[in-house]
Chain A
Amino acid sequence: MLSQFANPARFMSLSAWAAPVLALLAVALFAIGVPWALLLSPSDYQQGETVRIMYVHVPAAWWSLAVYAIMGAASFVGLVWRHVLADIAARAAAPIGATFAGLCLLTGSLWGAPTWGTWWEWDGRLTSMLVLFVIYLGYIALWSSIEDEEKAARLAAILCLVGLVNLPVVKFSVDWWSTLHQPASVFRAEGSAVHPDMLGPLMIMAGAYGALFGALLMMSMRAAIFRRRVEAARARIGAP
């Protein structure tokens, strides 16, 4: 079944309508989620209005981890089955994941300043998130620095798979070490500790980030496939 969807021609026809649909869905979810998070959701009894940063910070953190896991899966498929669409997907996902990781660090800093009294702390969660951001940048740099795309794909896939080690470190850093960062409050064995009035907008914003990721991933993959077609056609006609 996967090989059917992994056909570039099939992907192009599927993504031609799926990308705009996901983009529209992302816009709609942001249009609902942002006013809900900023104006309608309650403030926190201790954190006051700063708790509203959660609605942009937490989805950025979740999706930066999820995008890297998707890149890991695509890298594995690309490395083992040498499927070109998997390499394209992994490469296309990296700048989106890097943006999410960068936003997680920036909004975390903006949340930390008024609540912790510091913009940055070298604790387990913050440092492992910074490592994830640097791995993203390294992955993008590696792809760009090697001209031979097959070689670049192989090396980048190996880097990506090695970098997967960091994902459980990010997730469990708050349990393994004493950190300023709070422990998990949504995805935990005892169930969510977040009040439903806050969980609603949080999930809408997480959905918005997810839909945006899907749309941008498909757009970027389509651009990469068009670029490869142009380069192949140029090579055939001997154009520079």
Chain B
Amino acid sequence: MIEGSWPYVLASYGVTLASLAVLAVAQLLRLRHWSKRARALGKEVNP
């Protein structure tokens, strides 16, 4: 049986969860940015 493999396992989970979290935060920030601008411009066009 392969021994001493926990560092590989933890690195896999670390890189996966960190990458998915970064992707989710990036999408959330992008959505907030454009929805705010759309609302602001909507008010400007139709006050």
A-B contact count (CB 8 A): 108
CB within 8 Å for A113 and B23 given contacts A226-B35, A230-B34, A230-B38: no
Cβ contacts under 8 Å, A223 to chain B: 27, 30-31, 33-35
Is the pair B5, A50 in contact by a Cβ cutoff of 8 Å?
yes
A219 to B33, CA, bound (A): 12
B26-47 vs A, CB cutoff 8 Å, 1 = contact: the mask equals 0110110111011001101100
Contacts of B33 in A (CB 8 A): 223
Pair B12/A57 contact, Cβ less than 8 Å: yes
Cβ of B40 to closest chain A Cβ, rounded Å: 9
A229→B46 CA distance, assembly (Å): 13
Q: Could you say which of A98-106, A146-154, A169-177, A192-200 contacts chain B?
A: A98-106
Q: Are B41 and A230 in contact (CB under 8 A)?
A: yes
Alpha-carbon separation in the docked complex, A45 to B44 (Å): 66
Q: Mark A21-60, 1 if CB is under 8 A from B, else 0.
A: 0010000001000100010000011111110110011001
Which B residue sits closest to A99, measured CB to CB? B23
A111 an interface residue at 8 Å Cβ cutoff?
yes
Interface residue? A129 (CB, 8 A): no
> When the two chains form their complex, are residues B15 and A103 in contact, meaning their CB atoms are under 8 A apart?
yes
Cα of A99 to Cα of B12 in the assembled complex, Å = 14
- Annotate B1-32 by CB proximity to A: 1 below 8 A, 0 otherwise: 11111101101110111011001100110110
Q: Do A48 and B8 have beta carbons less than 8 Å apart?
A: no
Which residue from B2, B6, B13 sits with its C-beta under 8 Å from A34? B13
Q: Are B17 and A34 in contact (CB under 8 A)?
A: yes
Q: Tell which of A120-128, A159-167, A232-240 binds the partner.
A: A232-240
Write the nearest CB–CB distance from A162 to chain B, whole angstroms: 26
A110 at interface by CB-CB < 8 Å: yes
A233 partner residues in chain B, CB cutoff 8 A: 38, 41-42, 44-45
Compute how far the CA of A236 lies from the CA of B41 in the bound complex, rounded to whole angstroms: 11
Complex contacts, B2 vs chain A, CB 8 Å = 46-50, 114-115
Contact call B16/A56, Cβ cutoff below 8 A: yes
Assembled-state Cα–Cα distance A215/B5 (Å): 33
Q: How far is the CA of A131 from the CA of B28 in the complex (A)?
A: 29
Residues of B whose CB lies within 8 Å of any CB of A are: 1-6, 8-9, 11-13, 15-17, 19-20, 23-24, 27-28, 30-31, 33-35, 37-38, 41-42, 44-45
Interface residues of A (CB under 8 A from B): 23, 30, 34, 38, 44-50, 52-53, 56-57, 60, 95-96, 99, 102-103, 106-107, 110-111, 113-115, 212, 215-216, 219-220, 222-224, 226-227, 229-230, 233-234, 236-237
